[in-house]
Structure 1
Amino acid sequence: MKRLVAALVLLPQLAAAQDFADADAGVLRWLDKLTGETADIELTLGQEAESGRLTIRLDSCRYPADNPASDAEAHLTILEKDVAKPVFDGWMIASSPALSALDHPRYDVWVLRCVTPELPPPVDPAADQPAEDPATSEGDGQ
């Protein structure tokens, strides 16, 4: 009982330990297991793409705010032609695709990454230094 109480007390702290940022788009990979065809699909939020008999919609994409290149999580809704209920409606995690996977006999879909804002290029401290005159540097221009 004490362990359960301790776990319940620590759970909100663990969940708050990592802040996530929302992305406007995500990149998914689609596979037709029968033909071997693959495609990478970039979707913006709410956008749908048709691949084979599937319609894939990206509902949300988020990534760790402190490390944008790290693990992405995306909420997807996947419909199949002539099937009333979605064949998948939930979160997929890029680093653990089998944790919450599309269970389909022919197709596979998984998350690769969220599309994150471009980071500014690193500042080169040498770029602020005036260029040396080659005629005055040692050993050159004599």
Structure 2
Amino acid sequence: MITFNTGIATLNGDSFASGSEVSAEGDYTLIVTDAMGNVTTIAFTIDKTVPIISGVTDGSIYNTNQSITFNEGTATLNGDPFASGATIFAEGDYTLVVTDEAGNVTTANFTIDRTAPTVTGVVYGVSYNTDRTITFNEGT
């Protein structure tokens, strides 16, 4: 709700009453003029749309380097500043947080894992004449 104490107002050129609400996304200019001709102009934006991240998806695991972009705002990767278009090379767990100018936030948690599972109990290409207990540290 937008209020002003005196005068008449326009919002983007249309009459505007004190106490009215503006909810649609967009850029606005509010001009309030009092009886003495004093003018207050306020430009503002309503932005409810979260930033869009490309290159990784929340909850995903990758076995390759990932180049990540976002369409607006600023970002941190595991708490450190991160630039759109940068590539992640190191294995590990990551949290990317992108915040736009209006305070909308998009978060993507992802992992880069290029280490193959470890298998024990058998060796590639070997034949056995006994039962084998096979174990592996991750995967299916």
TM-score tier after normalising by the smaller chain length: under 0.3
Q: Could you tell me the TM-score, scaled by structure 2's length?
A: 0.26
TM-score by length of structure 1 reads: 0.26
Higher strand share: 2
Q: Taking CA–CA contacts closer than 8 Å with sequence separation of 6 or more, which of the two structures ends up with the larger relative contact order?
A: 1
Higher helix share: 1
